[in-house]
Amino acid sequence: MARISNVEILELGEPGEKSSPWSSTILVLKLTTEDGIIGYGEAPTTLMTRPVFEEMKEVERVFKGASVNNIKANVREYYKHSFYLPVSMESTAALSAFEIASWDILGKELGAPVYDLLGGKVRERARAYANGWYDNCVTPEQFLRKAREIERMGFDAVKFDPFGGNYDQISSAGLKEARKIVGKLKEETNLDLLIEFHGRFSANSAIRAAEVLEDMEPFFMEEPVHPDQIEGLARLRGRTTARIALGERVLNKNLFLPYFVRDLVDIIQPDVTNVGGILEAREASSLAESFGIEVAYHNAFGPIQTAATLHLDLSVPNFVIQESFDKFWPGWKKSLVRSGYSIDKGHFTLSGKPGLGIDIDEKILEKYRTDQMESFNPNEPSWVVKGTYSPSSRNDRSHKKK
């Protein structure tokens, strides 16, 4: 197998943020081997675009000149050198891009799609749920109007955050409004409802919110407590019958294990672009399978990430549903990948071409190159869907400007 001879790291974005802030930039990696085969990877950027960009230069020092087929050995070599790798999002994100691009090259070298290299398909398509669809939604009526549009697109499941501007604590008014929003969609659509908490609440507030919403049988509740409050999550687990999902901020397979052995989670959500890449995400799902736990990979950034994730969706036995922002990206991001996967009537399929199976539009790579951090709004956290962190629903008035 050939060695990696050239590394190109590109940040893409456009002036004037036209999507939620975490999605307004992406980092694309282009690896080229000495025999001219190109592989693409992607790294996430949530309020850390430039730090991840710089960390990718550190990963380059390990991967450049290495044999591209030695994916596991190359990852282990970086693990050896990167002292904070298991708990540094910048490090795991940067590594993920190189690992994904290596699989893309390996598949092209062998003439096989990545899913065949992972053991083959166990399904032909992957059920998707829509996310990013509810920008500027605050009232139940606004959520319903857009949810009906999603149904017309063919989706049968949506994820959304109904908690407005409540953070850490939630007011009684905030609880009532969240119940109205979820109830409206429950009563007037046929959608499965996935409730996004965004890891925003203390355990006490998360318990209150779960108790208010659980009778509406959400598909799952995602990250109900702050991600560092594991004991709080255990308290919540004993107080609700709702299924709990988490994992986008769990940075390798070993760090999932405490959640499994303590029965704290029903569905895990590794992110292929921050957990260390395709193989680490695959191994996390295998650990979950041993505990009878399902997997719904997190997927919020760009189309290269989507393509990489779909190879897992089609080959992982305990896959349950796939997150999709694809229909709600700005135009340049939709155009970056010209072909390779498609979504129709709420289900993804892959092309079956070698590697990741995607064709990249090189003109997009050139036209939208930038070196900026993503946009920052002091009145709305970068992790929310744009226009939903409503000042009128905030229980903490200190968030308002003086």
- Could you tell me where the beta strands, DSSP code E, fall in 105-162? 126-130, 157-160
Residue 324 sits at the vertex; the CA angle it makes with 347 and 216, to the nearest 5 degrees, is: 85
* 3 state SS of 350: strand
Strand partners, 129: 323
Dihedral sign (CA 381, 382, 383, 385): positive
Catalytic residue numbers?
Answer: 198, 298
Q: Measured between alpha carbons, how far is 276 from 96 in angstroms, rounded to an integer?
A: 4
The torsion of the CA quartet 103, 105, 107, 108, rounded to 10 degrees, works out to 170
Place of tokens 């956290």: 381
Q: Measured between alpha carbons, how far is 116 from 320 in angstroms, rounded to an integer?
A: 20
Q: Measured between alpha carbons, how far is 267 from 270 in angstroms, rounded to an integer?
A: 10
DSSP type of residue 389: S
